[in-house]
């Protein structure tokens, strides 16, 4: 529980650089929410008016303030969280600069009611333009309730910089999600415009929090991270490489539970993922670094979004190595467990680089991710058994020293036949290739759609239906349909609202003309869980293309003639990214002749 509030000394005030704290409604939400957390709150209710631009109400069940402390809390640099300069380096609370409340009060009207649990009555204070308008006793529940209104009314320039209310609201929601993630015992309700945006119960684990705050499917697939080294603990989750995202928004770091943006940490993550993700794709990763307070300086940014580490290279190194292991890249064999130093990471020694590359190749092979990797017979003698001191080889892994050819020409392979109605089997001089016919076709169609939709003259024509089909949708599906209507039309699926929640479909994409229009539209909407409906236009567009490609491609258990297989191979050869389907699954896996020798113990 915070102690008594005091005024910081002049000297300390000068040592703390003052700065802009309140930029937009989301910054107010951040400061208020952090104060509630510092006050030990376990329950929070936040209501936004006009996306936070019109007003922000917050109520917590935290410790509350003593009557005498109430006016003090609004003095600049009045805080109950640090008392002397050295405390700055031990600070565990979110706040310590005593700037938030006076800053908010200077740009808005703020009304606070607060009561400490043991007190009989609460205290009320109203400020406007930084001036106290009213104080006095009031009845109120234990904890603190704040109402912020007339935001930026007296700073019109600031107001102009705000985005639309929808965007500001979205930023507030992102802020809340970010701040509450580490606090399992905190219950939060966020409402806006009469709707509940978030209703988060207390949770048992970070994994559970992630699945409630973000995409549950993503949370389910995430790989746990847990490593402690030299007094620094690194915990969290990262998505496997086939679950990448188109932006870096979900790369989130917490240092001693404080959300931070940090180039060094971001760089470390991208280094660990290098070669595992296609270009311009990012993992979702939530990393929690815990280190002794003296190892990190949190007073380097006015909104405390950046920190400075005492030993940045150790942190960098820990992240690269730990994520590398988690992603299956580095250190899969004991030899790789000697960790590189920071200098090596910056200008890697040849053998370290080779080891990393080899390790990554092994990963590539064992999951079939990115490119199928195959291994021509090494020129020298092939020794039969694995030497006793080497770890046993992973199935189908390769330790060959010879350079890897980087592309298969499918058209030049010998087609042997189809297995299980789904897999096409080919023989090649270097080994055996197995292709997933659905994944291959899906990639081909997706790339084709992408190419057409990016072309200056979009010639993705729709096939006009003889009888337009009327389909009735649920209200949510209908409003989402309106949202993506233009994108659908661009891709050849033209449909229009037709009264109530119904739509009329006029054309379907030419390559999907055999599909029933109703199924097509409903399946497409089903492919968008609620969490994906908030994505950017570009993300939605990509997802729609994936969904259409998936519906149109040959299915598992469809018989293909040899001519059709030859066609597929020819087109696949001409298709970029031909080694994974648009969902990130492999199109084919390969076994080298050497793999066979090893399997048969030759
Ligand atoms: P800081 O958080 O940096 O100390 P603020 O201006 O945000 O500065 O808050 C000033 C003081 O007001 C805090 O130190 C705390 O004592 C008190 N305070 C603010 N919000 C709350 C709250 N929700 N519950 C209890 N005390 C609060
Ligand atoms: Mg504060």
Burial (0-12, 13-18, 19+ Cβ within 10 Å), 298: buried
Place of tokens 């991270």: 225
- The CA angle 538-542-545, to the nearest 5 degrees, is 140
DSSP reduced 3-state for 540: helix
Are 295 and 289 in contact, with CB atoms under 8 Å apart? no
CB-ligand 1 contact for 116 (6 Å cutoff): no
Give me ligand 2 centre to Cα 81, in Å: 9
Binding site membership of 100 for ligand 1 (Cβ less than 6 Å): yes
What pLDDT shows up at residue 141? 96
Cα(73)–Cα(127) distance, integer angstroms: 12
- Ligand 1 site, residue 63, Cβ cutoff 6 A: yes
Give the residue, out of 17, 68, 74, 79, with the most ligand 1 atoms within 8 A of its beta carbon, to mutate for a pocket test: 79
Q: Whose CA is nearest to atom 2 of ligand 1?
A: 95
**Rounded to the nearest 10 degrees, how much is the dihedral formed by the CA atoms of 231, 263, 35, 84?**
60
96 pocket-lining for ligand 1 (C-beta < 6 Å):
yes
The neighbouring-strand residues paired with 434 are 425, 589
Q: Per-block average pLDDT, block size 10, for the chain (602 residues)?
A: 60 36 89 95 97 97 95 78 61 73 89 95 92 94 97 83 91 94 96 93 93 87 92 94 84 93 89 77 94 82 77 89 76 29 32 43 36 27 31 32 54 89 88 88 84 70 83 88 90 89 88 81 86 82 87 77 87 78 77 77 76
Query: Is the Cβ atom of 79 under 6 angstroms away from ligand 1?
Result: yes
Q: Which two tokens stand for residue 483?
A: 């949202």
Cα(583) to centroid(ligand 2), Å: 43
Q: For residues 261 and 306, is the Cβ–Cβ distance under 8 A?
A: yes
DSSP string, 88-146: GGG--SS--S--HHHHHHHHSEEEEEEE-TT-SSEEEEEEETTEEEEEEEE---SEEEE
81 lines ligand 1 (CB under 6 A): yes
DSSP, res 37? H
Radius of gyration of the chain (CA): 29
Ligand 2 mean position to 32 CA, how many Å? 7
User: Does 242 sit in the ligand 1 pocket, CB within 6 Å?
Assistant: no
Distance CA 87, CA 81 (A): 9
d(CA 3, CA 82): 10
The bound ligand whose nearest atom lies closest to the alpha carbon of 103 is: 1
CA distances from 524 to 467, 491, 516, 547, 552 (A): 21, 13, 12, 6, 12
101 lines ligand 1 (CB under 6 A): yes
Q: Residues with Cβ < 8 Å from 201, sequence gap 6 or more?
A: 187, 212
Q: Which ligand is nearest to the CA of 97?
A: 1
Supply 250's token pair.
């979900």
Strands 78-79 and 109-115: unpaired
CA 83 to centroid of ligand 2, rounded, Å: 15
92 CA distance to ligand 1 centroid (A)? 14
> Which ligand is closest in space to the CA of residue 102?
1
Q: Is there a contact between 358 and 394 (Cβ–Cβ < 8 Å)?
A: no
* Inter-residue contact 524 to 421 (CB < 8 Å): no
Give, in order, the Cα–Cα distances in Å from 560 to each of 416, 445, 486, 592. Answer: 13, 17, 35, 26
Q: In ligand 1, which atom is closest to the CA atom of 94? A: 2
Question: What does the angle CA 98 – CA 100 – CA 101 come to, to the nearest 5 degrees?
Answer: 95
Ligand 1 atom with the shortest distance to the CA of 58: 23
Is the minimum distance from the CB of 550 to ligand 1 under 6 angstroms? no
């Amino acid at each position: 529980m915070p102690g008594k509030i005091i005024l910081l000394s002049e000297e300390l005030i000068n040592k703390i650089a003052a700065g802009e704290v309140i930029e937009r409604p989301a910054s107010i939400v951040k400061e208020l929410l952090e104060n509630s957390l510092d006050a030990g709150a376990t329950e929070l209710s936040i209501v936004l008016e006009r996306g936070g631009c019109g007003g922000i109400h917050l109520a917590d069940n935290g410790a509350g303030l003593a009557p005498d402390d109430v006016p003090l809390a609004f003095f600049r640099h009045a805080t109950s969280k640090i008392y002397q300069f050295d405390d700055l380096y031990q600070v565990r609370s979110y706040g310590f600069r005593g700037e938030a409340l006076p800053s908010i009060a200077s740009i808005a009207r703020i009304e606070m009611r607060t009561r400490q649990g043991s007190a009989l009555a609460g205290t009320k204070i109203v400020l406007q333009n930084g001036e106290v308008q009213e104080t006095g006793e009031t009845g109120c529940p234990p904890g603190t309730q704040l109402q912020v209104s007339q935001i930026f009314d007296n700073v019109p320039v600031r107001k102009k910089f705000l985005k639309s209310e929808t965007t500001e609201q979205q930023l507030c929601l992102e802020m809340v999600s970010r701040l509450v993630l580490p606090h399992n015992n905190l219950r939060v309700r966020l409402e806006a415009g009469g709707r509940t945006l978030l209703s988060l119960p207390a949770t048992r684990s970070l994994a559970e929090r992630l699945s409630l705050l973000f995409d549950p499917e993503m949370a389910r697939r995430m790989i746990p991270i847990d490593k402690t080294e030299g007094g620094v603990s690194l915990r969290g989750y990262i998505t496997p490489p086939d679950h990448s995202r188109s932006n870096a928004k979900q790369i989130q770091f917490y240092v001693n539970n404080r959300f931070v943006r940090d180039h060094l940490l971001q760089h470390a993550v991208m280094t660990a993922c290098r070669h595992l993700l296609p270009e311009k794709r990012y993992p979702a990763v939530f990393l929690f670094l815990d280190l002794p307070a003296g190892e990190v300086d949190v007073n380097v940014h006015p909104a405390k979004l950046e920190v400075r580490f005492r030993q940045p290279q150790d942190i960098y190194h820990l992240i690269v190595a730990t994520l590398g292991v988690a992603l299956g890249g580095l250190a899969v064999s004991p030899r790789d467990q000697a960790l590189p130093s920071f200098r090596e990471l910056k200008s890697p020694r040849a053998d370290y680089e080779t080891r990393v590359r080899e390790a990554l190749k092994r990963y590539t092979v064992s999951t079939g991710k990115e490119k199928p990797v195959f291994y021509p017979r090494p020129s020298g003698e092939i020794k039969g058994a694995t030497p006793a001191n080497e770890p046993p080889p992973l199935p189908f892994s390769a330790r060959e020293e010879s350079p890897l050819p980087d592309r298969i020409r499918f058209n030049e392979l010998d087609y042997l036949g189809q297995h299980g109605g789904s897999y096409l089997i080919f023989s090649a001089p270097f080994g055996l290739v197995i292709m997933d016919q659905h994944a291959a076709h899906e990639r081909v169609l997706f790339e084709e759609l992408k190419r057409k939709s990016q072309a200056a003259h979009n010639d993705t024509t729709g096939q006009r239906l003889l009888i337009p089909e009327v389909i009735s949708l649920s209200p949510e599906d209908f409003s989402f349909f309106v949202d993506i209507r233009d994108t659908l039309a661009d891709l050849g699926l033209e449909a229009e609202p037709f009264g109530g929640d119904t739509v009329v479909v006029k054309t379907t994409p030419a390559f999907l003309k055999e599909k029933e229009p109703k199924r097509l539209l409903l399946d497409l909407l089903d492919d968008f869980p609620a969490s994906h409906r908030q994505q950017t236009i570009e993300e939605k567009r990509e997802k729609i293309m994936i969904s259409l490609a998936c519906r149109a491609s040959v299915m598992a258990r469809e018989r293909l003639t040899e001519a059709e297989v030859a066609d597929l191979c020819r087109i696949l050869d001409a298709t970029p990214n031909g080694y994974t389907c648009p969902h990130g699954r492999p199109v084919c896996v390969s076994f080298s002749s050497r793999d066979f020798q090893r399997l048969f113990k030759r």
